[in-house]
Amino acid sequence: MTGFDSHGMLLGMILLIPLLGAVLVGMASRWPNLRETGSVLAALALTFAVWSLLPGALAGERPELVLFEILPNVPFAFKAEPLGLLFAALASLLWVVSTIYSMGYMRGNNEAHQTRFFMLFAVALFAAMGVAFSANLLTLFIFYEVLTVSTYPLVTHKGDEASMRAGRVYFGILIGASIGLFLPAIIWTYALTGTLDFVPGGILEGHLAGPAVGLMLGLYVYGAAKAAVMPLHRWLPAAMVAPTPVSALLHAVAVVKAGVFTIVKIIIYVFGVDFLFATPSSGWLVPVAAFTVIMASLIALRQTNLKRLLAYSTISQLSYIVLATAILAPLSQVGAALHIAAHGFGKITLFFAAGSIYTASKKTDITQMNGIGLRMPLTMGAFAIGALSMIGVPPMAGFVSKWYMLGGALQTENYLAIGTIILSTVLNAAYFLPILYRAFFLTENVAPPREHGEANWPIRLALGTTALLTIAFFVFNGPVVDLEMQLVETLL
């Protein structure tokens, strides 16, 4: 292992920037405008730092930063590889947008404890960057837990009885799974192989065989409960008590994607796709993920609270990613990676729209939203773009990733996966299209407490940006596909 070069230093900067941002926000707590400027600057600096790694990564560079050894042969180390880079690039870019959005939302709704909110947001991003760039399982686990702990006060931001209960579910499931399943799996892996490094092709082959492989996979998939594979999904709807910017960036992008990212990364770099493919005991994951995709969509159909509907839609979409990686075809791995980004753009737009409606009209239920598209055309237009992306209609981001997932499923002739993707497309349409119909074609049934148009400008700016990004990802996905193809180039 090498020490660090200039790009390695950049990795260190990427971790430091959000932490510094948190400190700055804390120091500027008395001057809200300065404080939010600090947040935006930190987010921009982070985005710049992460994105400047992309050209090198496309050329095949893999910068590393090795700090010190925590356990024998397990250093505290970071490495930029295509999957993590994609996740980091996505999270950092969307952090910029959501900081602007949060500014509008938190002020528009007169939320309390705004300094704490922005500080913890920065800490959560620090944790997400750590997860994205970890070079081994232990480093990943450390940041994974920092992410859980730092988001707990964000979920329970309101501080009332309901948020305390929701926080219990959130923390209980995430920590319980980490300690009860994830940690034993990591220690088991270490005991078997003596290493925890992420190595292309995996480290477990030759150390583990038979049903034990399926068991280990189970420990990892459910241990990374942030991926919300059923039955460990309850924390995500519970987390919806949080202010909407938290639901948008953390519970549609940073936290949940950290979960599926971890699973994809473990399948590619710890098990190895070929090894899992050759081991029948790992086959349970496809039906379980397929079940989650369908079941969560069915539950979403019955929701009337918009944010809860979006949460169940997220559960369904996350299992798409798990399903794609579990198909174990090279193309579907690319599809899984792309869907991390594609779903991120679409879902954050949907949440931004939900928050925009709440800020302007205090409405949270779908049944109250008749005719709201006429009052808030920009918001509902963005909502439509996000919804179409979830369904997978071109020219939206969701189409691109679905294309690769289906491609992978066809490669391996996995008809269960193909059927699931088709059926869930129908279901997605079944719960999103009625909302659009209500918003644009029905007349208002519930009078708002006061006359309102669109929400304030930071909210409009943010949701317009993410809606454009959703479309842009459809048009300009070439470099991303090239980058993620590197994940599987040894397999093709």
Partner 1 sequence: MLAAQYPVLPVIVPLLSAPIAALMPNRSLAWIMASLVSALVFATAVALTVIVSAQGMISYEVGGWPAPYGIEVRVDSFSVVMLLVISGASTLALISGKASIDAQIPSDRQPLFFAAWLLALAAYSGIAVAGDAFNIFVFMEISSLAGYVLIANGPDRRALPATFKYLVMGTIGASFYLIGVGLAYMMTGTLNIADLHARLGDVPYLRPILLSAAFVTIGLAVKAAVFPLHVWMPNAYARAPSAVAVFLSACSTKAAVYVMLRFDFMIFGGAFAHHDVQFSTVLMSLALLGMLIGSAVAIYERDVKRMLGYSSVGQIGYILLGASMISLGGVSAGVIHMFNHAMIKGGLFLAMGALVLRLGGGTLDDLKGAGRTMPWTMGAFVLLGLSLIGMPLTAGFISKWYLVQAALDLGTLGIVLIAAILISSLMAVVYIWRVVEVAYFQSPQAGASKHQEAPLMMLVPLWAVVLANVYFGLDPSIPVDLATNAANILLEHAK
Site string for partner 1, 361-390 (x = CB under 8 A): ------------------------------
> Residue 156 or residue 282: which is nearer to partner 1 going by CB?
156
Identify residues 73-132 at the interface with partner 1 (CB under 8 A).
76
Q: Specify the residue, 190 or 269, whose C-beta has the smaller distance to partner 1.
A: 190
Under rule CB under 8 A, residue 156 binds partner 1: yes
- Counting residues that bind partner 1 (by CB under 8 A) gives 32
Minimum CB separation from partner 1 for residue 401, in Å? Answer: 32
With respect to partner 1, which residue has the nearer C-beta, 69 or 482?
69
Of the ranges 17-25, 137-145, 243-251, 273-281, which one interacts with partner 1 (CB under 8 A)?
A: 137-145
Shortest distance (Å) from residue 167 CB to partner 1: 8
The answer to the question of residue 161 lying near partner 1 (CB under 8 A) is yes
For partner 1, which is the closer residue by CB, 152 or 440?
152
Cis bond before residue 18 (omega within 30° of 0): no
Q: Choose which of 55, 159, 194, 434 interacts with partner 1 (CB under 8 A).
A: 159
Closest distance to partner 1 from the beta carbon of 171 (Å) = 7
Q: Which residue's entry shows tokens 């938190």? A: 106
Nearer to partner 1, 176 or 377 (CB): 176
Quote the least distance from Cβ 155 to partner 1, whole Å: 12
- Residue 331 dihedral angles phi and psi, to the nearest 5°: -65, -35
CB 159 to partner 1: min, Å: 6
Q: Which of 36, 64, 81, 145 binds partner 1 (CB under 8 A)?
A: 145
Please answer whether residues 220 and 214 qualify as being in contact, where contact means their C-beta atoms are separated by less than 8 angstroms.
no
Sign of CA dihedral 462, 250, 432, 264: positive
| Stretch of residues binding partner 1 (CB under 8 A), selected from 43-51, 135-143, 377-385, 461-469 | 135-143
Which residue lies nearer to partner 1 by CB, 16 or 481? 16
Among 146, 294, 301, 472, binds partner 1 (CB under 8 A): 146
Q: Does 141 bind partner 1 (CB under 8 A)?
A: yes
Stretch that binds partner 1, among 29-37, 146-154, 364-372, 434-442 (CB under 8 A): 146-154
- Minimum CB distance to partner 1 smaller for 141 or for 431: 141
> Contact letters (x/-) for partner 1, 165-204, by CB under 8 A?
--xx--xx--xx--xx--xx--xx-xx-------------
Residue 126, both tokens: 């620090």
Q: Mark 35-74 with x for binding to partner 1 (rule: CB under 8 A) and - for no binding.
A: ---------------------------------xxxx---
- Give the binding site for partner 1 (CB under 8 A): 68-71, 76, 138, 141-142, 145-146, 149, 153, 156, 159-161, 163-164, 167-168, 171-172, 175-176, 179-180, 183-184, 187-188, 190-191
